Amino acid sequence: MGALFVALTLVGYLGAAILFVAQLYDLKQAKWALLLGWVGFVSQSLWLIQRGIALAQFPAATLYDWVAFFVWVAVGLFLAFGRRLGMRPVGAFLFPVVFVVWLMSQGVSGNAAPGRHPMGVLLVLHVVVAALGDVSFLLASVFGIMYIEKERELKNKRVRLFYYQLPALGDMDAWSGRFVAAGWGLFTATLVTGALWGHATGSAYWMWNAKQIWSFMTWAIYGALFVARYVGKWHGHRLATWSMIAFLVVLVNVFGVNLLFPGPHHAIL
């Protein structure tokens, strides 16, 4: 049954990615794109429930599970608030990324055993704020991509139909800045809860392993971006570009560091 849920999730997210792009040119595709997005989300929700039951704990006990949880949070937030906030076009840029990340996660072993410590409240909080922080960084980069695309259309003076479907440049700039701020705050909470959890399990607050060092680098980069936005008054093209570049650091942190330097964050913490 788990394989069926995984397959339905892949089909749902791939179909949503294709149709959300199509609806930028033909609004009739919007309802089908949304339907497939829900198919993927519900299938993944059932998979997470099944996974949690099998592990007898919160379903983020391994890197494989955490990436799935991250994707689920991103899609869930979009489905819950995207239409209400008039951000339907975000799906055309979010779902392709979500599909690729979910597909990449299938290359990570789903059979890794959970860590030696049970997932108490503090660890669950750490996992949840980490996912919310990374989702905020993802959305900041998505709005950055949208901003660059609309700006390019305007500069080339060859405006296509999807230009009119995207939010105003000022709105996308504002949302990107908000998600950078939210993500940095949440990632700060991630580092704090991770340090507290490490101490609670008998380890040091900080152990200088590859994951912690790279996480600190991610926090510092987004902290610099936050300061540049609200103190240095970075706006528009510059903020959009750096939001996109910074998210590459997040992807390296999630996949590259965890896979190249196996440790407590690979099977969990």
Distance CA 12, CA 5 (A): 10
| Helix (H), strand (E) at residue 220 | helix 210-230
Residue 111, helix vs strand vs coil: coil
Going by the DSSP 8-state scheme, the letter that residue 106 receives in this structure is T
pTM across the whole model: 0.86
Phi, psi of 62 (to 5 degrees): -135, 170
Query: How far lies 240's CA from each of 34, 127, 176, in Å?
Result: 26, 27, 7
62 close to 114: Cβ distance less than 8 angstroms: yes
Residue 267, helix vs strand vs coil: strand
| Each residue's pLDDT expressed in tens, for the chain with a length of 269 residues | 678 888 899 999 999 999 999 988 887 888 899 999 999 999 999 999 998 888 777 877 677 888 889 999 999 999 988 776 677 888 999 999 999 988 887 776 555 555 545 567 888 888 889 999 999 999 999 999 999 988 888 887 776 677 778 888 889 999 999 999 999 999 999 999 888 877 776 666 677 777 788 888 999 999 999 999 888 788 888 999 999 999 998 888 877 766 665 555 544 43
The domain segmentation of the chain, as residue ranges, is 1-114, 115-269
Structure tokens at 17: 């990615």
Distance CA 75, CA 179 (A): 15
Distance CA 268, CA 63 (A): 7
28: amino acid identity, one letter: K
Given this model, what pLDDT does residue 268 score?
A: 44
* Longest CA pairwise span in the chain (Å): 61
90 close to 63: Cβ distance less than 8 angstroms: no
Residue 34, helix vs strand vs coil: helix
Where would I find the H helices in 88-206?
Answer: 91-105, 121-156, 161-165, 169-200
Rg for the chain (alpha carbons), in Å? 19
